[in-house]
Structure 1
Amino acid sequence: MDGRRSVGSILLARGYINEQALDGALTAQHNTNEPLLKILIDQGFINDDIKAQVLAEQWHMPFVDVMAEKVEADVLALVDQERAKRYGFVAFKREEGVVSIALSDPTNIELMDYLLATYGRETKFFVAPKNAIYGAIEKYYVVGNSIKEASSEAKAEIIAESGEEVSIEQLREMGQDAPVIRLVNTIITQAIVEHASDIHVEPQKDHLRIRYRIDGILQEKQNLPRNIQAGVLSRIKIMSNMDIAERRKPQDGRISLRIENKAIDFRVSSLPTIYGEKIVMRILDKSSAMVPLENLGFLNDTLTLFNNVISQPYGMIVISGPTGAGKTTTLYSALNRLNTPGKNIVTVEDPVEYQMDGLNQV
């Protein structure tokens, strides 16, 4: 025996699931032969963070929030970017000759052997969620490379030093430059990986600030060079079907993308400021809104009360809270619970954020 506890016992001991959920997942595993943790994620009982914490405990490895680590350039040079992304690992620290590596799957013995052979026996392993590892790779490799590439090829600023405005043709050309396209795509992809609800693109006096709203809190992610501001803003406006010639009035737009086999919409708004147009992109991931009410964090008594209230034939429920608190998710989860062929449901929304089959959304 190697002393490792079963995944199920760890989940129960930590209170992540109950016996009923575990029994259901074990039954499904018997039929599909899929890993238990994958089944529980698919069923909505746990997420990637919990999976990583359970694996860390099972394999007696420390858990690490790799996105919070400040990675130095010499450590980044140790890792092959493509291989790191393919196998889900990243080196994030080196102290006294010991290289610290975060990986998402400590059960992959072949990967462990490769890492030991590549980086030597002086290696310390940590477990991190796969999305956090991908986020770190995007943050330290892809974003950095895209910024350098876009900055080196930037053709002009939106307002020339002389005060003359760049022509519409120049703006459109900058928004369609390949390096700028890759940079904007990377910023969006990283936001999805980090489960952000909003992307804020904010012109400042000498740089373009990128912030993500994660768990309701805005977090600064990148400061882009001022000389690529015009290209980045133009690219987002082109994607959103906004008028790139209009820079003095607020505008609204929408983007529909498919990222990692998921359909994701973005509600986009622009606002003129003294340093250029601030753009906010609200990320509308339909799968995140279809969370079962049981998984929203209600206490049992509160959940019972809420289910009783939404089942009433008439009345009003008021849900309030700050940005990112979960108002929209709670409302759509309630609608999803009520959405049956025997009910006529009409919504009045401004705007309609998530389109749901079976509803009459106005």
Structure 2
Amino acid sequence: MSTVKENLPADEKRFFSDQLMVELSHVLVERGIVRQQQIEELNSRRALTGENLHSLLLKEGLVDETILLGILAELSNIPFMPIAKLPVTQDVAAKVPARIALRYKIMPVKYENGIITLAKSEVPQATETDSLRMLLNTALDWVLCTRDDIVKSLKHFYGLGAEAVDSLVESVEKQESTVVATDVAAETADAGIVKFVNQIIAEAIDMGATDVHIEPFENDLRLRYRIDGMLQVIPVPKGIAKLSKAIVSCIKIM
């Protein structure tokens, strides 16, 4: 007998809970995807590490992520779909600040009738939903997407190092409104710039780039990597032009 919640109302979502993970375990065993012994071993590890069952299943490679999310969609009534099938635009992404999207590992994928639909690679918690509802001051809905979809979309719509840049721009704007910036604020900004430049270099290495081109303009900054002999434009966060001089100075002394 299946443990999937077949009679759950179409508009009623279930959030993350221990009970949901128990039901997930039952379905995985019933369908022959994992063995009961494997579930027991993961539960023992979960008690020691605090990781949830979802993360451990993926870490151990016991379940394909799309299969896992499909089952969780059945259990939670939160639909699972590729981001490519969702109407994501820059205007939709702008509804959620970069630092919030990256902190919560969420991607805004739709805005309709005053409701923002957020994509996440795990079933969200009720407390998380309440916090986001207050931070964004709007009603929320959810969909499930793979981690790879979320990561790629965050980079595409918010740009490389968006969280660091978002905080740095805010810091710079505060300093500009103050007659004298404190040493602590200046040191914090310097550390943030170094972190961002390191992200640029690390990403270039991961992508197999041979050259990194950082091209400051009057009101913009363009980042390009040479990959397989071709220069490719890399998305960068809005407002990065305010940090152009600091970024160039950081690179000069590296």
TM-score w.r.t. structure 2 length? Answer: 0.52
Given that residues 75 and 93 in structure 1 are in contact (C-alpha distance below 8 angstroms), is that contact kept between their aligned partners in structure 2?
yes
Alpha carbon RMSD of aligned pairs, Å?
4.2
**Secondary structure at 2:159's aligned position in 1?**
helix
Partner of 1:24: 41
Could you tell me which runs of 5 or more consecutive residues in structure 2 were left unpaired when the two chains were aligned: 1-13, 163-194, 211-221, 232-254
1:76 positional shift = 1.4
> What is the CA–CA distance in structure 2 between the aligned matches of 1:69 and 1:184, rounded to whole Å?
31
How far has the Cα of 1:141 moved from its partner? 1.1
Counterpart contact for 1:142–1:186, Cα < 8 Å: no
- In structure 2, C-alpha distance between the alignment counterparts of 1:28 and 1:95, rounded to whole Å: 41
User: How many residues are paired up?
Assistant: 173
- Corresponding position of 1:64: 81
Structure 1 residues 33, 116: closer, same or farther in 2, change over 3 A? closer
**Kindly tell me: are residues 85 and 52 of structure 1, through their superposed partners in 2, closer, same or farther at Cα, counting changes over 3 Å?**
farther
Letter paired with 2:156: K
Which structure shows the bigger proportion of residues in helix conformation? 2
Q: Residue in 2 aligned with 1:127?
A: 144
Residue 58 of structure 1 aligns with an amino acid whose one-letter code is: L
Query: Which structure is higher in RCO with an 8 Å CA cutoff and minimum separation 6?
Result: 2
**In structure 2, what is the equivalent of residue 90 of structure 1?**
107
Are residues 103 and 30 of structure 1, via their aligned partners in 2, closer, same or farther at CA, if it must alter by over 3 Å?
closer
Query: Do the aligned residues in 1 keep the contact of 2:209 with 2:225 (CA within 8 Å)?
Result: no
Note the C-alpha offset of 1:51.
Answer: 4.3
Maintained 8 Å contact 2:80/2:144: yes
Deviation string 1:130-156 (CA, Å, 9 cap, x unpaired) is: 3422221111111598xxxxxxxxxxx
- 8 A Cα contact 1:99 1:119, kept in partner: no
Q: Structure 1 residue 32: deviation in Å?
A: 5.0
Per-residue deviation, 1:181 = 8.1
User: Structure 2: how far apart are the matches of 1:179 and 1:111?
Assistant: 27
Q: Conserved in 1, the CA contact under 8 Å of 2:116 and 2:138?
A: no
Question: Partner of 2:110: helix, strand, or coil?
Answer: strand
| One-letter identity of the residue aligned with 2:225 | V
1:232 match: 225
The 5 A counterparts of 1:190-209 are none
Provide the C-alpha distance between the structure 2 equivalents of 1:22 and 1:181, rounded to a whole number of angstroms: 40
Note the residue ranges of structure 1 that are not aligned, 5 or more in a row: 146-177, 192-198, 202-227, 237-269, 271-276, 280-362
User: 1:23-172 alignment to 2 at 5 Å?
Assistant: 23-29=40-46, 32=49, 34-120=51-137, 122-143=139-160
**Residues 183-212 of structure 1: CA distance to partner in whole angstroms, max 9, x if unpaired?**
6754666x6xxxxxxx799xxxxxxxxxxx
Partner of 1:246: none
CA contact (8 A) 1:12 1:18 kept: yes
Cα 1:138/1:188, change in 2 over 3 Å: farther
Q: Give distance in 2, aligned partners of 1:8 and 1:123.
A: 28
Shift of 1:30: 5.2
Whether the 8 Å CA contact 1:180–1:232 is kept in 2: the answer is no
- Supply the AA of the counterpart residue of 1:128: C
Question: What letter corresponds to residue 65 of structure 1 in structure 2?
Answer: P
For 2:160 and 2:45, the matched residues in 1 are separated by 40
Q: Distance in 2 between matches of 1:131 and 1:51?
A: 14
User: Which of 2, 5, 10 is matched with 2:27 structurally?
Assistant: 10
Deviation at 1:109, TM superposition (A): 2.5
**Range that drifts further, 7-16 or 178-187:** 178-187
Q: Distance in 2 between matches of 1:30 and 1:180?
A: 38
How far, CA to CA, are the matches of 2:33 and 2:106 in structure 1?
Answer: 25
Question: Matches of 2:123 and 2:77 in 1, distance apart?
Answer: 10
Q: Distance in 1 between matches of 2:196 and 2:72?
A: 38
Mapped partners of 1:31, 1:182: distance in 2: 32
The structure having more radius of gyration, on CA atoms, is 1
CA distance in 2, matches of 1:31, 1:98: 38
User: CA offsets, 1:47-92, max 9 Å, x none?
Assistant: 5444433433332211132255452222111111112111111211
Report the TM-score when normalising by structure 1: 0.38
Cα 1:44/1:133, change in 2 over 3 Å: same
Residues 24 and 140 from structure 1, CA distance in 2 versus in 1: closer, same or farther, beyond 3 angstroms? Answer: same
1:278 Cα deviation from its structure 2 partner? 4.9
